[in-house]
Structure 1
């Protein structure tokens, strides 16, 4: 798939957080001369985000750094047809997103845990409380380590730096669920292959992972994305990627990248959302496939990361 095939005028990546101050997005808009990539900006009011992105005459591809999908061991006990249908049904489950303070509260109707650190708390105990065999069963296939990167966090875990549960709660509840009752939002890969989903008037949301994007783009960050100087050192290589994608940066993006995306705590989030939109453009340009493993659990329930081709180590050929 290439940008000329997709009928798409806007590519976006949102780096998601429960804290609005750390919720940033980068937009790339297609022009006759190619993509123009803007500097990161705050996501703003979540309830109006999709309306602000919507284009009745073209498709929009929205990447988001958050889990889209459920682990198969949990999903196997559900009656819904797939992950989007499950989210639609959550409107009647007010407690689902209330994070459990103790293991005694954990169950299929309240899977998110823990609300705070507790002595002796483990992911294995969390899994057992959900009726899953072990801690690995908390993860989707795409969360497992590959030959190219370490493991990601399971979607129901909400404590510590290596967690994604809080972002899942915020985005599923406040962004995705309200939009699924209409026709404008589609979730990849659950509702079809990417080219078929990218129809005029639709926003297609796909899970992205900035650490994957670095590898997909051939970039190597020396140091930590949390350090401004390390982010600034990558700026020349980062900006050099854009011409390969048929894109040009707005002057404000050049300035932000050269500056290391700022000295405040949100600098890493601005950095990540730029990596994310370049990942989206890389797929649209055909440099990475919109690959999904041929596994019904992944396609209907667990989901996949846009542009990722590496399988979990235990599934690799």
Structure 2
């Protein structure tokens, strides 16, 4: 069964109804780029960094735990930090045991959240791929349910509820900028919007997973480096999201580490929004000028995560 027939607007809508009691409806903040030293241009910031567990990942976590059968061994997730925190939070709320595998690059802000939600935390290797491999061994040994960060239908259905919410909150926008790592977020959002709003992907230069996939015509391995490596640097985008991306994502823009850090700083200094590197990447494309809106274009930017302790830049 193809991704397009599994990750449908109807299923996303039903998932939204199911998870709504467990997630926040996050706010939209209207800003003007003149406040950031640019020409006047209104931009809408969707602040999913204020979601439970500090990122959009709570949507996919609750979608999995509420729509799949949970064994006595509980759930297991591999994560750079945000997905693990979200699964740990959902498991805590639903009374399910959780074991979370993270790489050594996972920031303290994220590992502290995971421990704080009562999950068992295991540090395995230096990159997400290492944590994923260790989690798969754990699943084989214990029979726990694996909750994948992006290569799982229920995960994309959950992330797709953010597209539904954005369209309800901002029905008149032309363009939405979304950061990409494994692609679960942008894949789910694109499946909901289905071409009604232009979607532009934003990726770090050090981990251009979707950029490489578009060039190759299929998901392929990409570098896994950069300041946002904990959240935007799996080896490749998911196979579930890629056909959706080919259908509905206009293009991928690459931003530098300096662009990302500058966006973090600008969001904090100007509007007191705390964003982690991955959460600020999409705004980095606007701030750096690497995305240039057309005259009159109505733009929204997804600020997708805020799990960082670094607010003094």
Return the TM-score normalized by structure 2. Answer: 0.26
- Name the structure where helix makes up a greater proportion of residues: 2
Return the TM-score normalized by structure 1. Answer: 0.26
Structure 1 or 2, whichever has the larger Rg, is 1
- Larger relative contact order, structure 1 or 2 (CA cutoff 8 Å, min sep 6): 1
